[in-house]
Amino acid sequence: MMEQAFFLILAAFAVGAALSVIIQRSPIYSAFSLIGVMACLAATYIMLKAQFLGAVQLIVYAGAIMVLFVFVIMLLNVRKEENTLDKHRYLWLLALPFAATLIVEVLYTILKVTSDFTSLPEMAKRPIIGDSQSIGYGLFTSYLMPFELTSILILLAIVGSVILARREKE
């Protein structure tokens, strides 16, 4: 009961912050709303007993990626988004039906299907996963190949961003 109330509060915060991301005109406000969403999601991960990913969510997403966003916003000194709403009113007309379709579709599916999820008998017997040990074990056994490939991806990203952001010397 308590857990459900806590989840509802978190979810309300997350949805409110997410709405604020797209409503705010100033990118820095969007960025901080997004950090709020990420913090709420980290808390939900911990509720799901995935403490390791909860901490990693805060360290990587909120602590590193978003710092990068805020840094770029500050570097380019973007105070306000240009007001082009009148020119692009048709985008809202496109977006709202799209959103409505998406949400109705997904919620309908969830309501229709989830009743089967929780009743699997063998699930209760398995140990709880989500601590660093099970994640590490998985990464270095069955997911070793993707794990190693991400390191190549990161190397590529580093080289790419250095080349892109470098100023050409005359």
Partner 1 sequence: MDIYKLIEWVVKIGIVFLILMHALAYIVLLERRLLGFIQMRLGPNRVGPFGLLQPLADGIKFFFKEEIIPRDADRVLYILAPIVALVPALTTIAVIPFGDTINLFGREIELSVTRVDISLLVVLALTSMGIYGIVLAGWSSNNKYSLMGGLRSSAQMISYELSLSLSIVGVVIFSGSLDLAQIAKEQMNTWWGIIPKWNIFTQPIGFMLFLISVIAETNRVPFDLPEAETELVAGFHTEYSSMKFAIFFIAEYANMVTASAMATLLFLGGWHGPFVKDFPLLGPVYFTLKILFFLVLYIWLRGTLPRFRYDQLMKFGWKFMIPVALANVVLVAALALFLF
Partner 2 sequence: MVPLSWYLALSAVLFTIGAVGVFVKRNVISIFMCIELMLNAVNLTLIAFSSFYKEASGQLFVFIVMTVAAAEAGVGLALVIAVFRNRESLNTDDTNLLKL
Range 96-115, binding partner 2 (CB under 8 A):
96, 98-99, 102-103, 106-107, 110-111, 114
Q: What is the CB neighbour count within 10 angstroms for residue 8?
A: 10
User: What ranges in 48-165 are assigned the alpha helix state H?
Assistant: 51-56, 66-76, 89-113, 132-140, 144-165
State yes or no: residue 156 binds partner 2 (CB under 8 A): yes
State yes or no: residue 148 binds partner 2 (CB under 8 A): no
CA distance 70 to 120: 45
Which phi and psi (to 5°) does residue 138 adopt? -60, -45
Q: Which of partner 1, partner 2, none does residue 53 bind to, with CB < 5 to 8 Å depending on kind?
A: partner 2
Closest approach of Cβ 117 to partner 2, in Å? 5
**Under 8 Å between Cβ of 76 and 95:** no
**Under 8 Å between Cβ of 61 and 38:** yes
Candidates 9-17, 49-57, 87-95, 111-119; binding stretch for partner 1 (CB under 8 A)? 49-57
State yes or no: residue 71 binds partner 1 (CB under 8 A): yes
State yes or no: residue 13 binds partner 1 (CB under 8 A): no
User: Considering CB under 8 A, how many residues would be counted as binding partner 1?
Assistant: 23
State yes or no: residue 119 binds partner 2 (CB under 8 A): no
